[in-house]
Structure 1
Amino acid sequence: MTYYGGVEMASDPEFSEEELVQKAHDASARQANDEVLTVCETLRAAYPKSAHGYGLAAVALRRLGQVDASNAMVWKSVKAIGLRPWHLITMADTAMDFKDWDEALRRWKDLRMAFPAHQKGYFRAAVAHREMGQLEDCDRLLEEKMSRMKPEAPDFNLWADSAIDRGEWELAADRLEQMQKAFPKEPSAYVAGARVMSAFQHEKNAAHDSQYAEKPRSLMQEFDALYREMRDISFGLQDMIDAAGWIVRCRAVSPQTRGAQRLFQLAETDKNLAKVLAGETIAPPTYSADRPIKPLFFFPIITQTDNLTPLLEKMAQDPRFEPIILCSRNRANDYDDSYAFFSKTYSHNPRITVIDGGAHVNENISPYELGADVVFFHTPYSHGPSYPFFLWAGFVARHTRVAHVNYGYFLLTLEGTEKHIYDNPQIQVADMVFSESDVSDRVFRASFGDERVHKTGYPKFDRFRACLETVPFEERVKGKDKLDVIWTPHWQMAEDPTGGTHTSNFTRYVDTMLKLSERDDVVLHVRPHPLLRPRLKVLGMYDFDEFDAIMDTFEKNGAVVYPANEGVSYVEALMSADVLISDFSSLVPEFFITERPIIFCRTDDVWNNGKWIGPFGKTLINEGCYTVDSENELLAMLSTIVAERKHPKMQNMQRLISENNLFPEGSSCERIADVVAQRITGG
């Protein structure tokens, strides 16, 4: 026999203590309570001093309704290892679960007496007092806790709830104002503010004057402002749903919540939707073979289209599918009116339904209302916290399937410290993840497992392949008077406070490019990123007129300019170009398909911070591209390529493509469609 903490234990146990604890935790997370009890019994026999063998077993017994056995297990633990705070917490929580409030209060008092610095002894006891209607006692314990230790956001919430329960709206508003001062970015403060106003209006208490009735209304207005700036606030999905629900109930609806109002109204008659709004996950409906599959493509603005439109158009040619495009109409900018663009673009295609989601993205129809079988989002950024909750992938995944199609930009960031693609919470909920190559497939599988990941290739390459002339560089440029050079500046500026990085070569090289456009040995093609023009305007760097004047100068010099939107295709120019000059853009790895020269304009912060360019991206750029750091280097490199008509890195590009199976032959959309059809129909 061996000894553990002075207690006799079985010799040579099959599993280590850590392994058994992990098995018990895993079973507990699945609420496989009988399995928890079996593992914990083994754990206690082998490691009698292990607290987890008692604690997890006590929780499992509680879940099975065996209150006395649960408490007895706790006392066994006390005997084995001495009294710990969790012993009293477990017994108190057991009493709370079974609404035995008197017993719970006794246990919370025991915790305060034995461990006076433990916050749960005060907070959870206050919860029990509120459940019993003892609101003054609830307040007393909360105020004692907040005086003894640093207040936390839940303290203020419960404190305000106590005032709401008594109908003391002014007091509730005052307490929430204190919470907002202490926790200015705490979502629940604003959710509770909506509740105060809801309760106030519901009661219609005319005895309260309008002066302090405006306090909760002011909180509502602050919440509404925060709703528009959600990138800076850590609102979770359920926070947003809860807040929208209270706003709708008190009829304080604004343009920021109009879409939510419609959804909550629908939930009054749609029980499944009510469950979805409450946080439940509803299994996607069984597919009925008497209709085509309905894939929905969410395109909030025109600039967020080019990664998915080839797939959309392929599905429209496939009798298995009838695609839907969900659009929005931005009041402020016709350029962003995706409904006007797509309804015109596909007006003659009866197999594509284009939905007008409303005058603003916050008024959009929810994918729930459209009955889609699967929803495709453009990028992780097109369905994040800056959009209303009913367009988030996390919400959509509660009631239908979500699919993510990878894009070239990811290859540059692969395994960098900024894991914003494969760790993005919007992508984590996807049922189907489509990768374009071996290298990203490996990373996706490490994050998502094998079942959800499918290596299919990248839809944009289907369109690229259709325009690609597969002639080796040195052969294609032999005898040409002028080389076609395409410049594709990205949109993120060093001056951009939201970008966190400087990726664009526009401001750094625009004068150089204007000079280049005058040369008689090249034809310059200028294709700015679709977001560049508005970003320069937002940053106060160039007004639209100033930017457009620069583009006009390029054209006067003989350059070919592609307007900064997705309505004008640049694909043919990209695939016909002899040389690409670019920066931190998805077009860099995508242009590899041509096996032609790429001049990569580096910026120090991006290149060296380890965040935005990962090891594979650096290998791709260093071995396959010609890197430059200045105007002189750029012009020298280009002159060498133009004058000598040589491409010494072509073999490197071919090797990288072959080793990583970077780009398939051009049937990506067909493969993705087959996977979607199989996953949905089961056939």
Structure 2
Amino acid sequence: MKSIKKLIKKPVRIIGERVLDLRSAYYIKRNIRAKNTGVIRIGFIVQMAEVWDKEVRIYEELRTRADVETFLIVVPPYDLKTETNSLSYENDPFFSIYPEAIKALQPDGNWIDIRKSNPDYVFFQRPYDQYLPKPLRSTELVKYTKCCYVPYGYAGSDVFNRGNTNLPFFRNMSFVFLESEYMKGVFRRSFNNRSMFKHQKYETLGYPDLEVYFDIPSRDEIKNILWTPRWSYDPEMGGSHFFEYKDLPFFIKSHYSGIDVVFRPHPLMFDEFIKQGLMKQQEADDYKRRIREASIAYDSGTLISEAISRSDLLITDYSSIIINYFLTGKPIIYCKADYELNEEYSKIESCLYVAEDQQQIESYIAMLLNGEDPLAEKRKALIEKYRLQHIGAAKRIVDCLLSVS
């Protein structure tokens, strides 16, 4: 009996996936054909202020358009420890910026029924339904609205393509606005044999998040150093060097007077390390205390654009923010990951100071603080190519949406 179950398990799974594809194809086709002759309503389901910068320019551009209404639905944070959504909005930054934002969790304890808002489009922040309450997941919203997505991070390596092309989420998207032609090719290869693909729109109109970085001014000398360690040591998708370089900010602070050091770990880093048994809660608390006592700034809440704007040099593990920082023209010391970068990030890597140990990092810091930056002109040349690709992205995305309605 067990051998029979094992034999039919894969065919049953494949049939189940195809049924879900057909379901999504039906709804997407129906929603795309629906035309709105009145006010177009566009919603944004938001949960993480840290990645709102990927959509905010689209949101603000929409607010300038006639016959368009926008609204924000704020979902409480997802707690990795309990694997449930929090029931509290305490200190949620969205409400201070947008007083008109709507709470997904209603006073009666139920989740909002977004259908009552009659949205024509809804944007998602991340391609993971499991972090959202069931009524706000793409599997539900695809039934009555056009679901949209802008990547919450710029893809820099093919090792992340499984998550970047997460089928249970992307089969429900009507519009996906991708960051590069390279990633458009990845999506095409992943989905072109699936029934919903022919009804979906995969567009490369530029990456709105990048527009603000081209004109961030640079100082003539380095006064502020930003360190952004990654959150995981996973063999395939990790790349963190936190434990290897945990004393680096203290070294910089003790060797270079007048230099401000900012420690900005990935928001999930300490929780993930504790969950994986790499450190205890007390050890995490002790490290944060050491950071504070050394007058090193611990940045855990500002928008990444603000952190980038204030700093003059980035020291980072693999991260989607590398391209953001790169476009400012400021130097980057890249703590090399074990996995290969994709075509897009490989171009950028050739303009970075690549370090494989702390001694190399210290050497690059000394060189740059001495006013030597041999890769500066190479960075400028590549930045100009990206400028043509990304400036005006938000406007082009909005024009695309409104041309379909």
For the pair shown, the structure with the greater C-alpha radius of gyration is: 1
CA deviation digits over 1:533-555, x for unaligned, max 9? Answer: 32233234445564344334334
Kindly indicate whether the alpha-carbon contact (under 8 Å) linking 2:335 and 2:356 is maintained by their aligned counterparts in 1: yes
1:509 counterpart residue number: 245
| Separation (CA, whole Å) in 1 of partners of 2:268 and 2:354 | 24
From 589, 597, 601, give the equivalent of 2:335.
601
Q: 1:583 to 1:337 in 2, by over 3 A?
A: farther
Kindly indicate whether the alpha-carbon contact (under 8 Å) linking 1:327 and 1:339 is maintained by their aligned counterparts in 2: no
What does residue range 504-583 of structure 1 map to in structure 2 within 5 Å?
504-518=240-254, 519-520=256-257, 522-543=259-280, 546-562=283-299, 564-565=300-301, 568-583=302-317
2:164 counterpart residue number: 421
1:454 counterpart residue number: 203
2:376 counterpart residue number: 650
From 406, 426, 435, give the equivalent of 2:151.
406
CA deviation digits over 1:344-394, x for unaligned, max 9? Answer: 22454x4xx4132369x9x644544542211211132x325x656654434
Report the residue type matching 1:453 in the other structure: Y
Quote how far apart the aligned CAs of 1:403 are. 1.4
**Structure with a larger share of its residues in helix:** 1
Kindly indicate whether the alpha-carbon contact (under 8 Å) linking 1:592 and 1:653 is maintained by their aligned counterparts in 2: yes
Q: 1:573 to 1:377 in 2, by over 3 A?
A: same
CA deviation digits over 1:241-268, x for unaligned, max 9? Answer: xxxxxxxxxxxxxxxxxxxxxxxxxxxx
1:630 counterpart residue number: 357
| Separation (CA, whole Å) in 2 of partners of 1:187 and 1:356 | 36
Quote how far apart the aligned CAs of 1:317 are. 4.4
Q: What secondary structure is seen at the aligned counterpart in 2 of 1:294?
A: strand
Quote how far apart the aligned CAs of 1:598 are. 0.9
CA deviation digits over 1:58-99, x for unaligned, max 9? Answer: xxxxxxxxxxxxxxxxxxxxxxxxxxxxxxxxxxxxxxxxxx
Quote how far apart the aligned CAs of 1:576 are. 3.5
Quote how far apart the aligned CAs of 1:404 are. 1.8
Q: 1:438 to 1:238 in 2, by over 3 A?
A: closer
1:484 counterpart residue number: 224
CA deviation digits over 1:305-327, x for unaligned, max 9? Answer: 34223433443444443223233
| Separation (CA, whole Å) in 2 of partners of 1:339 and 1:614 | 39
| Separation (CA, whole Å) in 2 of partners of 1:294 and 1:668 | 21
Q: 1:670 to 1:388 in 2, by over 3 A?
A: same
Kindly indicate whether the alpha-carbon contact (under 8 Å) linking 2:50 and 2:303 is maintained by their aligned counterparts in 1: no
| Separation (CA, whole Å) in 2 of partners of 1:547 and 1:438 | 40
Q: 1:335 to 1:490 in 2, by over 3 A?
A: farther
2:92 counterpart residue number: 341
Quote how far apart the aligned CAs of 1:340 are. 6.0
| Separation (CA, whole Å) in 1 of partners of 2:106 and 2:244 | 39
Quote how far apart the aligned CAs of 1:590 are. 1.6
1:618 counterpart residue number: 346
Q: 1:339 to 1:404 in 2, by over 3 A?
A: farther
What does residue range 23-102 of structure 1 map to in structure 2 within 5 Å?
none
Q: What secondary structure is seen at the aligned counterpart in 1 of 2:173?
A: coil
CA deviation digits over 1:581-612, x for unaligned, max 9? Answer: 111111112211112211111233xx2xx5xx
What does residue range 174-193 of structure 1 map to in structure 2 within 5 Å?
none
Q: What secondary structure is seen at the aligned counterpart in 1 of 2:37?
A: coil
What does residue range 128-207 of structure 1 map to in structure 2 within 5 Å?
150-152=3-5
Kindly indicate whether the alpha-carbon contact (under 8 Å) linking 1:489 and 1:528 is maintained by their aligned counterparts in 2: yes
Q: What secondary structure is seen at the aligned counterpart in 2 of 1:580?
A: strand
2:41 counterpart residue number: 294
Q: What secondary structure is seen at the aligned counterpart in 2 of 1:590?
A: helix
Report the residue type matching 2:4 in the other structure: P
Correspondence 1:436 to 2:179: yes
| Separation (CA, whole Å) in 1 of partners of 2:303 and 2:161 | 31
Quote how far apart the aligned CAs of 1:574 are. 0.5
2:390 counterpart residue number: 664
Kindly indicate whether the alpha-carbon contact (under 8 Å) linking 2:149 and 2:175 is maintained by their aligned counterparts in 1: yes
| Separation (CA, whole Å) in 2 of partners of 1:671 and 1:358 | 35
The range that moved more, 571-580 or 389-398, is: 389-398
Q: 1:336 to 1:586 in 2, by over 3 A?
A: farther
Kindly indicate whether the alpha-carbon contact (under 8 Å) linking 1:237 and 1:389 is maintained by their aligned counterparts in 2: no
| Separation (CA, whole Å) in 2 of partners of 1:424 and 1:585 | 23
User: Structure 2: any 5+ residue segments left out of the alignment?
Assistant: none
Q: What secondary structure is seen at the aligned counterpart in 2 of 1:594?
A: coil
TM-score by length of 1: 0.49
| Separation (CA, whole Å) in 1 of partners of 2:240 and 2:332 | 16
Correspondence 1:311 to 2:58: yes
2:319 counterpart residue number: 585
Kindly indicate whether the alpha-carbon contact (under 8 Å) linking 1:301 and 1:336 is maintained by their aligned counterparts in 2: no
Quote how far apart the aligned CAs of 1:641 are. 1.4
Kindly indicate whether the alpha-carbon contact (under 8 Å) linking 1:329 and 1:358 is maintained by their aligned counterparts in 2: no
Quote how far apart the aligned CAs of 1:487 are. 0.8
Q: What secondary structure is seen at the aligned counterpart in 1 of 2:206?
A: coil
2:76 counterpart residue number: 329
What does residue range 361-380 of structure 1 map to in structure 2 within 5 Å?
364-365=111-112, 367-380=114-127
| Separation (CA, whole Å) in 2 of partners of 1:150 and 1:554 | 57
What does residue range 101-140 of structure 1 map to in structure 2 within 5 Å?
none
| Separation (CA, whole Å) in 1 of partners of 2:104 and 2:73 | 7
Q: What secondary structure is seen at the aligned counterpart in 2 of 1:510?
A: coil
| Separation (CA, whole Å) in 2 of partners of 1:540 and 1:488 | 21
Instruction: Give me the identity figure in percent.
Output: 19
Correspondence 1:676 to 2:401: yes
TM-score by length of 2: 0.79
Kindly indicate whether the alpha-carbon contact (under 8 Å) linking 2:313 and 2:330 is maintained by their aligned counterparts in 1: yes
Quote how far apart the aligned CAs of 1:422 are. 4.4
- Provide the aligned C-alpha RMSD in A: 4.1
Kindly indicate whether the alpha-carbon contact (under 8 Å) linking 2:53 and 2:209 is maintained by their aligned counterparts in 1: yes
User: Structure 1: any 5+ residue segments left out of the alignment?
Assistant: 1-145, 156-182, 189-234, 240-275
Q: 1:655 to 1:335 in 2, by over 3 A?
A: farther
Quote how far apart the aligned CAs of 1:502 are. 2.5
| Separation (CA, whole Å) in 2 of partners of 1:543 and 1:369 | 46
Q: 1:543 to 1:294 in 2, by over 3 A?
A: farther
| Separation (CA, whole Å) in 1 of partners of 2:133 and 2:104 | 16
Q: What secondary structure is seen at the aligned counterpart in 2 of 1:657?
A: helix
From 124, 134, 138, give the equivalent of 1:393.
138
Quote how far apart the aligned CAs of 1:635 are. 0.9
Kindly indicate whether the alpha-carbon contact (under 8 Å) linking 1:435 and 1:456 is maintained by their aligned counterparts in 2: yes
Kindly indicate whether the alpha-carbon contact (under 8 Å) linking 2:184 and 2:204 is maintained by their aligned counterparts in 1: yes
Quote how far apart the aligned CAs of 1:628 are. 0.8
Q: 1:549 to 1:318 in 2, by over 3 A?
A: farther
- State how many pairs are aligned: 389
